[in-house]
Amino acid sequence: MNKKTIIQLVPALMLVLAAMQGCKKEFLERPPASAVVDANFYKTDEQVSAATSLLYSQVWFDYNDKAMYNLGDFRGGTAFSAWNDRGNVLFNTTGDNGENGASWRAFFNVVGQSNLFLYNIEKYGGPNVSATVKKRSIAEARFMRALAYRFLVMNWGPVPIIENNFDQIYDTSITRNTVPSVWRFITREMRAAAADLPEVAPQEGRLTKWSAEAMLARFYLTRAGVEGSGGQRNQSFLDSAKYFADRVIRSSGKSLLKTYAQLFRYPYDNNSESLFELQWVFSGPNVWGTQNSMPEYLAYSPDISFGGWGGDKGATWWLLDQYDGIDVQPDGKLKGRTIDQRLHATFMLPGAYYEEITRVSDKKKLIFPFSGTDQNFLSIKKYVIGSPVDLAGIASQQHYPNNTYMMRLAEMYLIYTEATIGNGNSTTDATAIDYFNKVHTRSGLPPYEVGGTNGTGPLTLDMLFSERFKEFAMEGMSWYDLVTLHYWNPAKAYAILNTQDRGLFFAQPDKMPDPTQWTFTKTSWFSERTVNANDGNFRLPIPDAELNQAPNLKKPPVDYP
């Protein structure tokens, strides 16, 4: 059997990492300066903490580079690419698709590196490593491994659980494990992490107990569908999701930022709303793997970035239709404006003004241009933090310093609300409505009032879903929301996906500059507007290269102990 198999996945030694100078994340300032030699590392608290710092950045690099939005937004329908990455946009991803293979490897890299740390700390951890640091560091690795498996099981269904890359490296009998047993494993791991992580981070950006409990709220909401029956979610898991979400809301000390735009205006890293972020630093143009490369793929032009390769990426027609104030007209066009601040902070409309971004060409602040005759794009704004003029000295091409959110407090409010709706279609529960409104009104919208002028009755599940799509667009979330739905109501998940318009359109302002409204017209000649999501293509296929190297992955899955 080829040694380069699914069982191996990552090198046996820790990745080489050059010393990083002048980075703003404290616990990333003193990583190992050369290749880690297991026999003489892991001897002090500082060395152990330096080793776990890689779990916050480098091991997630390939996920952050493209897989985050390629799966989470393109596949989920909140954004699209017109000419690239079409496999996920059109739901025809194949086993030999490059992004499919890269995403699979990205998550198993996190698993492998987490396993490697757990192996090394037990084998080489010296007597001078304090019990507190050892316990916390093991919890960090178990957290990361569990989260990686969450992505794996939601994208590919049954996957092999690997806890020890060394013992299992040549085990050709390993097969996939069933979806329920993978979820049991990752929930158990996250509960262990929650028990051993501190309530207060020892260094800014480190995981805490609240990071893990927030993930438990997310996990239990999903597991309620995984282990439901008859189209009903498991009530005890809904109760657990509600319990953990409420604990984080009430006890973590976290709070929503005052305005939505603040979440993505650099520097925003490790703010009061953040429960877990990938920690990126700019350490010079020649250091690879610890920086944020994603903004380069999202920015629409080198006029606002160092490369700017995102000219064909933008909001979908379907998502645009979700915003209050942008309404369908009798002729099928969309027209209007919205006071929902999330649209401006996530995507760029012609005439939109961004004072934090300076154009390279004329050194003027960005007003997103109006161009084209029958098609243009509402280009990506979220995670695009500025041009070379704005970021001189702290960024270069594919090397940006801004973090990537993996969990925000806003999600806890919406998880609580969804868990309260539970197996019904709506809720009038006062706490759930209040929590929903924490997120809703922060965007600039009036509060939802059951039976009031700003409400038309109980808060429905569809309203909750729409809120999530808008709140987390371009944060790699919408696809996983739909997978969570698919576990207990696949017909509804297919109905949402198959009615999404993912085609080209033309956005026309009523005037430039300072438009007061926009008219959106579908591009007549563009035919690839919808997908046909079904049981046969909902999950991603295991990459062909992995199946060729590990043929047991084709066997029926078995329960994990």
Residue 260 pLDDT exceeds 60: yes
- Cis ω for the linkage preceding 458 (within 30 of 0): no
Residue 31 pLDDT exceeds 50: no
Minimal CA–CA distance to 58: which of 318, 291, 248?
291
- Report the greatest alpha carbon distance in the chain: 74
Contact predicate 467/416, CB 8 Å: no
Residue 551 pLDDT exceeds 60: yes
Contact predicate 194/188, CB 8 Å: no
Residue 34 pLDDT exceeds 80: no
Tens of pLDDT, residues 414-467 = 999 999 999 999 999 999 999 999 999 999 999 999 987 777 799 999 999 999
Which tokens hold the place of 138? 């093991």
Q: Please give the Cα distance from 178 to 156 (Å, whole number).
A: 11
The amino acid present at 439, given as its one-letter code, is: V
Q: Which backbone phi and psi does 214 adopt, to 5 degrees? A: -65, -45
Distances (CA, A) of 50 to 56, 137, 522: 11, 10, 52
pLDDT at 171: 67
Q: 59 exposed, middle or buried (CB, 10 Å; 0-12, 13-18, 19+)?
A: buried
Contact predicate 540/156, CB 8 Å: yes
Produce one character per residue of 63-91: b if its CB has 16 or more CB atoms within 10 Å, e if not.
bbbbbbbbbbbbbbbbbbbbeebbbbbbb
Q: Please give the Cα distance from 54 to 60 (Å, whole number).
A: 9
Helices 45-53, 131-156: axis angle to 10 degrees equals 20
Residues 6+ away with beta carbon under 8 Å from 7: 160, 162, 165, 168, 169, 170, 171, 174, 550
Domain 26-228+538-554: CATH architecture, name and number where available: Alpha Horseshoe (1.25)
Label residue 549 by pLDDT band (50, 70, 90): confident
Residue 14 pLDDT exceeds 90: no
Label residue 7 by pLDDT band (50, 70, 90): very low
Q: pTM for this structure?
A: 0.94
Minimal CA–CA distance to 79: which of 92, 98, 63, 66?
66
Label residue 39 by pLDDT band (50, 70, 90): low
Region of residue 265 (left: phi > 0; alpha: psi -120 to 50; beta: else) = beta
Which tokens hold the place of 378? 């509402």
Which tokens hold the place of 398? 């594919």
Q: Mean pLDDT across the stretch 191-201?
A: 98
∠ CA 154-241-279, nearest 5°, is 60
Minimal CA–CA distance to 405: which of 510, 453, 477, 310?
477
Q: Mean pLDDT across the stretch 162-172?
A: 76
- Cis ω for the linkage preceding 180 (within 30 of 0): no
Place of tokens 């909750």: 464
Q: Mean pLDDT across the stretch 383-387?
A: 97
Q: What is the 3-state secondary structure (H, E, C) of 419-465?
A: HHHCCCCEECCHHHHHHHHHHHHHCCCCCCCCCCCCCCCCEEHHHHH
Looking at 207-288, which runs of residues are DSSP E strands? 274-278
Contact predicate 339/325, CB 8 Å: yes
Q: Mean pLDDT across the stretch 359-367?
A: 98
Tens of pLDDT, residues 523-547 = 999 999 999 999 999 999 999 999 9
Helices 98-124, 131-156: axis angle to 10 degrees equals 160
CA quadruple 446, 450, 455, 460: dihedral sign = positive
DSSP designation for 261: G
Q: Mean pLDDT across the stretch 142-153?
A: 98
Contact predicate 318/500, CB 8 Å: yes
pLDDT top residue among 98 and 231: 231
Distances (CA, A) of 330 to 334, 400, 411, 443, 525: 9, 45, 36, 28, 21
Q: Mean pLDDT across the stretch 326-332?
A: 98
Place of tokens 């304090």: 130
Give Cα 445 to chain centroid, integer Å. 25
Minimal CA–CA distance to 240: which of 75, 372, 415, 10?
415
Which 3 state secondary structure label does DSSP give 469?
A: helix
Q: For 24-38, 427-441, 469-483, which range has the lowest pLDDT when averaged over its residues?
A: 24-38
Tens of pLDDT, residues 96-117 = 998 899 999 999 999 999 999 9
Residue 256 pLDDT exceeds 90: yes
Domain ranges of the chain: 26-228+538-554
pLDDT at 38: 57
